[in-house]
Chain A
Amino acid sequence: MTRRISKYKRFVMMNPTIQFFKFIYLSIKVLVIVAGGHGGTRNA
């Protein structure tokens, strides 16, 4: 096992308060990308 994620990064990744805001951000970002439309490629 090799530590590749620093203690600070791990704290950020697992802190519920920080992650709550990250959750809101991710939800909106994923929604925008996914619901952002799709289409064809042949007449683009």
Chain B
Amino acid sequence: MAKIVILGAGIAGHVAASHLRRKLPKEHEVVVVSPNSNYQWIPSNIWVGIGRMKPKDILFPLAPLYAKKHIDFKQAKAVSFHPEGDQQEAKPYVVAEYVAGNEKGTTEKVTYDYLINATGPKLNFEATEGLSPGKNKAHSVCTYIHADEAWNALSDLIQQMKQGKKAKILIGTGHAKSTCQGAAFEYILNVEQELRRHKVRDMAKITWISNEYHLGDFGMDGMLLSYGSNIMKSSEMVGMVFEDRGISWILGAGVHKVEDGLAHYENLEGEQKQESFDFAMLIPSFSGHGFKAYDKMGNDITDRLFRGFMIVDADYTPKPYEEWSVQDWPETYQNPSYPNIFAPGIAFAPPHSISKPRKSKNGTDITPAPPRTGMPSGITAKLVADNIIEMIKHSDNELHHKGSMGNMGAACIASAGFGMTKGSGISITTFPIVPDFKKYPDTHGRKLGKTFGAIGLAGHWLKLALHYAFLYKAKMKPFWWLIPE
């Protein structure tokens, strides 16, 4: 009998738990430890942020589902890792602190045979002075709670605009090394459409602010994509959409401080600038959770497990951009020191960024961090689950399931406005996620045809269809496993 403990119940954690439970006989224990009581379908947060969906539309409580599916659920947060156990406990364990119920505040040693760290990122608002959801007129859509608060503030502003107020709206990244530009991109287009729907578009100046060097970088070094019968750069496609929607942009901006209605940023020229706003949505930087790890004797071994995020089978050797390759990226998400620990999704430490790193003239790193959200999270979690299943069933320690982001496709169906007849979406797929310049030297490291873009109403329907399909899948309803990650 094996016990698999999964830390986190986001996309990666929940995918791993559901596949493990479906494929493993009941004598094996599947335990989920997460401080969140709800599962949320994060890609739809942007629709909560414009008031077109309610939080209840994008979430469901985990405890009843897990009870029904025989998955043990502890509403607790991981505190420390003990991969060798300790003097009293022979088995490896994590210390978890309960965050709700009668046990709130108490800690427990949760032992395991296999550990999946799917804790995702810490939303590191503290890294930008004055950036906090709902403070200084700046908001976030990173959680459904943040998104709902953002909508309340935007709704108030729309009412003021209807009374004649001219407003400045600033949307983008809130730190020099933020990622998730895609979410901010979706949000700015949805906000723009909502202002038109409320007939106040003329009252607003909308500005995109980003740490990207080019528009459409998305933390993936941009893309060369098929667009109809043309081949177009993602920068050209995003530029076309922004110009058509009357959205101006500031690029290469490392926001480092937010005051009441004022964002301070440094650009690649090393200039210190400010941008004022009446409403802002700025994505914070992501960081690891600051977990500590200890060996059997209680010595600190954090650096064997973490470098911010969790160390996996990537090549972390520092090297210049020109020497980066897809082989640097992990394939199995297994920790090299402790083979029974895995970190799929955002929890693994990437070897480096995907976008070309750039510094300002003052030496400040202004480079998007690599995205690992959404689909890559689901795919990597499933392959980790499949490898653990094989290790348990066949006592085979060789990992057969591999999925490098350098050999994996991804789809980004970006909403550009909500509505069954007035909506729009920008559908982008990319293969591979990390460009392989050796394999595809003439097409910026990606396979054309599999890397394409399309704009239109169908994109909105597709995003909406994915919303319902993935919530169906997450609720583990009949034949849920037929829906791919």
In the complex, which of the residues A29, A35, A39 contacts B404, with contact meaning CB atoms closer than 8 Å? A39
Given known contacts A22-B456, A23-B458, A1 and B409 CB-to-CB distance under 8 angstroms: no
* Beta-carbon contacts under 8 Å, B238-278 to A: 240-241, 243-246
Closest Cβ neighbor of A23 among chain B residues: B458
Across-interface contacts of A34 in B (CB, < 8 A):
375, 409-411, 429, 484-485
Check if B88 is an interface residue, CB within 8 A of chain A: no
A40-B407 Cα distance, complex, nearest whole Å: 6
Closest Cβ neighbor of A27 among chain B residues: B462
Check if B370 is an interface residue, CB within 8 A of chain A: no
Interchain CB contact under 8 A, A33 and B411: yes
Contact mask for chain B residues 431-459; partner A; CB cutoff 8 A; 1 contact, 0 none? 10000100000000000001010111111
Contact mask for chain A residues 1-44; partner B; CB cutoff 8 A; 1 contact, 0 none? 11111000000111110011011011101110111101111101
Across-interface contacts of A39 in B (CB, < 8 A):
402-404, 407
Q: How far is the CB of B430 from chain A (nearest CB, A)?
A: 9
Contact mask for chain B residues 452-485; partner A; CB cutoff 8 A; 1 contact, 0 none? 1011111101100100000000000000000011
In the complex, which of the residues B246, B375, B427, B457 contacts A14, with contact meaning CB atoms closer than 8 Å? B457
Q: How far is the CB of A27 from chain B (nearest CB, A)?
A: 6
| Residue of A33, A39, A40 with highest tally of chain B CB at under 10 A | A40
Across-interface contacts of B413 in A (CB, < 8 A):
30
| Residue of A19, A20, A27, A30 with highest tally of chain B CB at under 10 A | A30
Check if B327 is an interface residue, CB within 8 A of chain A: yes
Across-interface contacts of A14 in B (CB, < 8 A):
421-422, 424, 456-457
- Majority SS at the chain B contact face: mixed
Check if B99 is an interface residue, CB within 8 A of chain A: no
A5-B243 Cα distance, complex, nearest whole Å: 9
Check if B138 is an interface residue, CB within 8 A of chain A: no
Interchain CB contact under 8 A, A19 and B457: yes
Across-interface contacts of A12 in B (CB, < 8 A):
456
A31-B240 Cα distance, complex, nearest whole Å: 27
Q: How far is the CB of A2 from chain B (nearest CB, A)?
A: 5
Interchain CB contact under 8 A, B462 and A23: yes
| Residue of A3, A5, A20, A31 with highest tally of chain B CB at under 10 A | A5
Across-interface contacts of B411 in A (CB, < 8 A):
30, 33-34
Interchain CB contact under 8 A, B454 and A22: yes
Given known contacts A5-B240, A23-B461, A41 and B327 CB-to-CB distance under 8 angstroms: yes
Interchain CB contact under 8 A, A13 and B429: no
Across-interface contacts of B241 in A (CB, < 8 A):
4
Contact mask for chain B residues 391-424; partner A; CB cutoff 8 A; 1 contact, 0 none? 0000000000011101111110100000001101
In the complex, which of the residues A1, A13, A27 contacts B245, with contact meaning CB atoms closer than 8 Å? A1
Interchain CB contact under 8 A, A1 and B246: yes
Check if B186 is an interface residue, CB within 8 A of chain A: no
Across-interface contacts of B459 in A (CB, < 8 A):
26
Q: How far is the CB of B393 from chain A (nearest CB, A)?
A: 21
Closest Cβ neighbor of B436 among chain A residues: A41
In the complex, which of the residues B244, B402, B465 contacts A27, with contact meaning CB atoms closer than 8 Å? B465
A5-B240 Cα distance, complex, nearest whole Å: 8
Check if B379 is an interface residue, CB within 8 A of chain A: yes
Across-interface contacts of B187 in A (CB, < 8 A):
none
Interchain CB contact under 8 A, A1 and B427: no
Interchain CB contact under 8 A, B406 and A41: yes
Check if B385 is an interface residue, CB within 8 A of chain A: no
Across-interface contacts of A13 in B (CB, < 8 A):
424, 455-457
In the complex, which of the residues B244, B421, B431, B436 contacts A2, with contact meaning CB atoms closer than 8 Å? B244
In the complex, which of the residues B244, B404, B457, B461 contacts A38, with contact meaning CB atoms closer than 8 Å? B404
Check if B212 is an interface residue, CB within 8 A of chain A: no
Across-interface contacts of B41 in A (CB, < 8 A):
none
Across-interface contacts of B329 in A (CB, < 8 A):
41
A33-B433 Cα distance, complex, nearest whole Å: 12
Report A's interface with B, CB cutoff 8 A.
1-5, 12-16, 19-20, 22-23, 25-27, 29-31, 33-36, 38-42, 44
Can you sample 24 A-B contacts with CB below 8 Å? A1-B245, A1-B246, A4-B241, A13-B455, A13-B456, A13-B457, A14-B421, A19-B458, A23-B458, A25-B458, A26-B454, A27-B465, A29-B429, A29-B452, A30-B427, A33-B431, A34-B409, A36-B409, A38-B408, A40-B402, A40-B403, A41-B327, A41-B329, A44-B407
Give the 3 A-B residue pairs with the shortest CB-CB distance, closest first: A1-B246, A40-B402, A13-B456
